[in-house]
Chain A
Amino acid sequence: MKQFDYVRPATVAEAVAAAAQPGAVYLAAGTNLLDLMKGNISRPDLLVDVTHLDGLDGIERLADGSLRIGALVSNADLAHDAEFAKAYPAVAEALLSGASAQLRNAATVGGNLLQRTRCAYFYDTASRCNKREPGSGCDARDGENRTHAVLGWSESCIATHPSDFCVPLVALDAIVEIEGKNGRREIALDELHRLPGNTPERESALEPGDLIVAVRLPPAARGFAPHARYLKVRERTSYAFAIVSAAAALRVENGKIAEARLALGGVAAKPWRARAAEEVLSGSAPTADAFQEAASCALADAKPSGDNSYKIELARRIVVRALTLAAAGTPARIPALPASPFASTSGAMHA
């Protein structure tokens, strides 16, 4: 491996100062970064290990009803926090559908948000990739691309963002708290990840040195708890990224949908919030027709980027199913096979 420096800052301010240097990257659990380094995809000069920073591993309920999740909380600890799972069941289900138990024990909240795409051409350093090497071209565009993006892609890049966790978070209007060179700021999660356009190498709104310190769920996010699901179609039952996934959350009042939230995963370079589809559902009864219409609306702008037109139809069906499951009500316990179409299969053991 390339030799690199390693620092373990004592404070967030020290961390930000260290990571603002050229060639520096943050190291949290490293479940993605270390693979990238071993594969020579990332060649940082300096690792800024944030795992020993104080105060970033708490889950706290704020006075206004928000929930603040420290960036170093592990995916497993968050998903298994009973209060959290009760208030934000779709988020917990999404977390438990991701990766493997071992990875979830290590991976952090902040790291999950910033994980890189799983596009094989990004990982294969002999391939052209505009994200890895700006201006080199995109070998995925005419390559093996049946799992690539169908929304928001460009000729420069057809990669997807692989996170499960981000999908319900973006549906619930999560806010990202960032510490940077100029102090603390916050942005909507929906604005954190960027679509590729002509600059796929710029994946997020973060500036050099920016450190995600927390993710906040606003007070309204709790209101969806009785009707919130995450659904993920994948090619094996566990330890696989989504072909397509969806988070659906409804606020049902007097038999009508007062408010709907819908986001898709595995379809674009960012977790894809389907606002127009939400509008369609708002005020309507939770019927199959309404869900179909919402699904069509959510995928109205979709187009295949390669050998993947099936993903558009699959996404429509997943939207309908996720909405149907959400309307039926959040189950009392997270299923043994979280987010799986086989979630209800009896006798299944935890994935």
Chain B
Amino acid sequence: MPELNLTSAPAHLRHGSSIGQPLTRRDGVLKVKGQATYAADNHPPGMLFAVMAVSSIAHGRVTSLDVAAAKRHPGVVDVMTPDHKPQLAIDPEIKTNPFVFRMEVLQSNEVRYANQPIAVVIAETLEAATEGALLLAPRYEVLPALVGLDAGESFVPPVVGVGNPAENTHGDVEAGLASADKKIEVTYETPPQYHNAMEPHAIVAAWDGDRLQIDMPTQGLMLSLARVAELFGIAPDKIHIRSPFLGGGFGSKGLMAGPPVLGIMAAKLVGKPVKLVLRREQMYGPVGHRAPTRQRLRIGTDAEGRLTALDHHARTVSSTFDDFYEPAADASHTLYVAPAIRTSHDAVRVNTGTPLFMRAPGEATGSIALESAIDEMAWACGMDPLAFRLKNYAEVEPITGKPFSSKALRACYDQGAARFGWAKRPLQPRQMRDDDGLLVGWGVGTATFPALMFQAEARAAIRRDGTGAMEIGAHDMGQGAWTALAQIAADAVGLDIDRVTFKAGTSDLPDAGIAGGSAHTATAGAAIHSAGAAVIAKLADLATNDERSPLFGAGNAGVIARDGKLIRRDDESRSESYTEILARAGVAEVEARGTGAPNPAAMEEYAMHAHGAVFAEVKVDPELGQIRVSRMVGAFAAGRIVNPHLVKSQLFGGMIWGMSFALHEEAITDRRSGRIMNANLGEYHIPVNADVPPLDVITVEEHDPHVNALGIKGVGEIGITGSAGAVANAVWHATGVRVRRFPIRIEELLAQR
């Protein structure tokens, strides 16, 4: 891969603070010109192609594989099976930490879900490997497949999401419901969904003795490194992972999955570099998905429309062999105040690949049900849905009673409603038509996502030539980390962005934590900020302790770094450039490290969330039931906005995904075989350009002194929440038909007209 050079684009030359500037992606030109090297673009000399054979049954055993037939095919080099494979250093079934998920790497003949890898064919060409995989013609002993939310006995999982209790209670829900003036009980269903990143999971693995070079898209370089190291029994410093660009991840590339491990094993088996790229349909199984849910909400209100109780129960599924539980009901923890709130989960086990984090796990599924049910409750109270939400506005976090570190949701409601024109909305549904006779409806949904922080480290340097460097193993999934983090880096070392060499995307750099939980900019940004402060402090030491410097005696606290100079805080006429300081000191560069981490004291004291309000307009053909979103406005408060341009893109993407959740996305599973019948982008519908209406994003000013030093809350996931509910509520408002199964289908709107 050519060295990335992102430091010299003249369009980015500017002065003053980089944070807050709407820079375009610094890697944009590379991508547009096809010069950005994604994992599968690598072709080391002698590379072979590996193709997975996957199971067509969801449950049972592989009883035979025609390895001889595959090997006879011209170009096939070897066939990796449970009987013929390199040994791993540890059993892949052992969960060595909570972020390790079980994977299928040919450890047995057992089949636990459809599309599970059952063999790998390695060949000189992709075509030969593909045909070799077909020629294996597996035979199976088939056992009945467990499919769907009623597949078996339900149980209460020990935890949901990442360590959340399955059940949470505040106050007496039954008493709250019993005393309610009005109450509703409604059940919503959401389908299984798949990440479907544009770039499939891919790996190019090359062994050189006991050293291992990996090109692989990952949202978690260090977690992947640690997992590969333990699986293959080699020291982490023998492994080098490059992941400069991801063609989307959405959670599916966060943790090491089975297929890339198979690529590494294949390379070891044949002693040559191997490329393994998943076919689109092979992504519907071994690399995670969003589990289906069935959510029952019971809500009560008093005569004034104040909540008396909110009971949110979610049924979900996990695989038969591992545990991940979509924490859907937890969406009810933070948004609406009620004297009694209960959230609970149960689950059944089905023959599926283990569900996993998928953009706003829990919040997305929970939000569409909660926001729909809140709308139903508002309607039962005869109240405008926005007025109802404001009436039940939470001034402190309802489930814990903690104050919010910051919460500009009221401003989001106000600014969004004003931009949208919400005040003109008729209370009754099915009241508005456009000039063509199409039904028009308006809906609102509240967006919420926690402001999380993980652990990260960064290394900063300032060089004698007046340039700087910032190194952190951060991940650009397309969200713009190359740009936003470089902006933070520039400010951190007091240099223009184009005078800072920013390095990211490889495993030999300091650990940036995982790009997930909407926390990457906050976490990596905090580490960069702190590394920058540390290196400036070292530089300041050199200057302020040197009597030849105009800054002599100023003391660390008295110096600020700007435009490549240290400036005395109380007397800006006294300054000295980095170059002068380092030249006189006779050092080539100063270097320092910094870390980013959550602040436990602040977390103990405050509830930390980003918020937003999304308004949607839909049009529905009154006879034919086809739905089209015609307008969306989203107002979001997410703390400091590092790059308004990229943030807007993130929020657009989230809002489109929310629309997709309400109207399009569903993996259709054959209830007998457990196979997914639409595992391709032709039939697994997501919105196409023609579905996406004009979108309007407002970023609401919010200063949060508690979440982290930079006040960043993150915007990666919040856009999908609120949006899905807003669209669903708009469909109801247009038609008067409340559909409680997503995506909303034409037939459900045809039943009533």
Contact = CB atoms under 8 A, between A and B. Distances in A.
| B is bound to A | yes
B750 interface: yes
Given A233-B626, A235-B746, 12 more contacts: A2-B134, A127-B673, A142-B672, A144-B677, A233-B624, A236-B664, A236-B687, A243-B746, A317-B750, A320-B623, A341-B621, A345-B619
Contacts of A235: 664, 685, 745-746
10 contacts: A100-B688, A126-B675, A233-B626, A238-B690, A239-B682, A240-B685, A318-B624, A342-B438, A345-B438, A349-B690
A121 B675 CA distance: 11
Contacts of B746: 233, 235, 243, 310, 314
Size bracket of the A interface: 35 or more
A38 B619 CA distance: 39
B109 to A, nearest CB: 18
B704 interface: no
Contacts of A341: 438, 621, 624, 626
Interface string B616-639: 000101011110101000000000
A239 B688 contact: yes
Contacts of A313: 750
A115 B13 CA distance: 54
A238 B626 contact: no
B683 interface: yes
Given A314-B750, A342-B619, A237 B436 contact: no
Interface string B224-251: 0000000000000000000000000000
A337 B690 CA distance: 8
A237 B688 contact: yes
Given A235-B685, A237-B688, A342-B619, A317 B624 contact: yes
Interface in B716-753: 745-747, 750-751
A347 B617 CA distance: 15
Contacts of B624: 233, 314, 317-318, 321, 341
Contacts of B127: 1, 3
A174 to B, nearest CB: 26
B747 A310 contact: yes
Interface of B: 56-57, 74, 127, 130-131, 134, 434, 436, 438, 619, 621, 623-626, 628, 630, 663-664, 668-673, 675, 677-678, 682-683, 685, 687-691, 694, 745-747, 750-751
B436 A144 contact: no
A344 B690 contact: no
Contacts of B682: 118, 239
B747 A234 contact: no
A238 B685 CA distance: 10
Given A126-B673, A342-B621, A238 B747 contact: no
A141 to B, nearest CB: 11
A290 interface: no
Nearest to B74: A3
Given A310-B747, A317-B624, A144 B668 contact: yes
Contacts of A238: 688-691
Contacts of B677: 120-121, 124, 143-144
Interface in A85-143: 100, 118, 120-121, 124-127, 139, 142-143
Contacts of B751: 310
Nearest to A125: B56
B747 A237 contact: no
Contacts of A100: 688
Nearest to B126: A1
A351 interface: yes
A61 interface: no
A144 B670 contact: yes
Nearest to A310: B747
A194 interface: no
Contact of A237 (B670, B678, B690): B690
A40 interface: yes
A144 B685 CA distance: 16
A99 to B, nearest CB: 9
Contacts of B625: 233, 314
A243 B747 CA distance: 10
A146 interface: yes
Contacts of B689: 238, 349
